[in-house]
């Protein structure tokens, strides 16, 4: 009887932990949907949702691979986006699809010309 009692406690504990896992909300995360909504809310025109998502993913790849903001802007320009749209796509991609690239943006914004504290 003692063995069955211990098994019942283990099963009850496991069930309680599983239930608690269901009741705790999942951590918030940004995704492709938020990326597209941001673009829609900021006046970026795109021909297809999948195409602009791919552009956002490529932007993340460029930022991660060392191409920096100039490389991402050049890519998006070649893809047909205006400067404002390209900049908005970069911001949305970093915020919603690849937040790990935020230091690349920070470094770009903190560049100085000639050590005078003037943005390059």
Domain boundaries defined on the chain: 32-110
In degrees rounded to 5, what are phi and psi of residue 118? -95, 130
pTM for the predicted model, two decimal places = 0.69
3-state secondary structure of 117: coil
The string of pLDDT tens digits covering residues 5-63 is 544 444 344 343 433 343 434 344 558 999 999 999 999 999 999 999 999 999 999 99
């Amino acid at each position: 009887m003692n063995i069955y009692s211990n098994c019942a406690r283990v099963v009850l504990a496991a069930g309680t932990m599983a239930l608690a896992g269901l009741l705790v909300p999942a951590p918030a995360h940004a995704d492709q949907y938020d990326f597209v909504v941001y673009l829609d809310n900021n006046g970026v025109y795109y021909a297809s949702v999948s195409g602009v998502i791919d552009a956002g993913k490529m932007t993340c790849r460029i930022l991660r691979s060392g191409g920096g903001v100039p490389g991402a802007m050049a890519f998006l320009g070649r893809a047909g986006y205006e400067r404002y749209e390209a900049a908005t796509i970069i911001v949305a991609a970093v915020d919603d699809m690849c937040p790990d690239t935020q230091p690349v943006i920070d470094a770009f914004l903190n560049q100085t010309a000639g050590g005078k504290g003037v943005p390059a």
